[in-house]
Amino acid sequence: MATLVGMLILALALPAWAGITFVGLVRARRGEGLPRPSRPRRSAARKAAWIAGLAYLTGGALHLYGLSYMPFLFPEDACWFNAGMKVHPDSSGALPVSLVCRGTEVVPWWVNPGLLVLAVTAVTATVTSVVLALRRPVGGR
């Protein structure tokens, strides 16, 4: 499979890239210059929306990582795999992410503060994006 992907890259992507580069160099020599980018500049509202989306995605991934410490089917195995103790957990919770085995917190200390920072960033960026989108003039881009 890796060989097939490599062959596709060599057969399709590299000649296309070389052709595009050659055409650009020929235009630059003739004095026509390089073509202007056709995409409009991103507005501040769109940038804030991208930041919010990235914060939501990263926060979800971090929460899934924290939940990987939780006991689901076999509670005694959660302490065994994560702390090396064959006991039932004293307590566990999904928000804040917590797993306590014999009085010791097993989930890394940075998971819950990271979730808090990402949640605040996501909500702030979402509100900022909505406010900037609503304040934009009707005729503007």
85-124 per-position pLDDT tens digit: 788 888 888 889 998 988 889 899 999 999 999 999 999 9
DSSP 87: S
pLDDT band for position 78 (cuts 50, 70, 90): confident
Does residue 12 or residue 5 have the better pLDDT? 12
Q: What is the dihedral of CA 116, 122, 124, 125, to 10 degrees?
A: 150
The mean of the pLDDT values for the chain is: 82
pLDDT digits (tens, 9 = 90+) for 11-38: 777 677 777 776 667 766 676 655 666 7
Asked if the peptide bond before residue 15 counts as cis, ω within 30 degrees of 0, the response is no
- CB count within 10 Å of CB 127 equals 12
Whether the predicted model's global pTM rises above the 0.85 cut? no
pLDDT band for position 59 (cuts 50, 70, 90): very high
**Residue keyed to tokens 């939940």:** 67
Whether the CB-CB separation of 101 and 90 falls below 8 Å is answered with yes
How is the chain split among helix, strand and coil, in percent rounded to 5?
A: 60, 10, 30
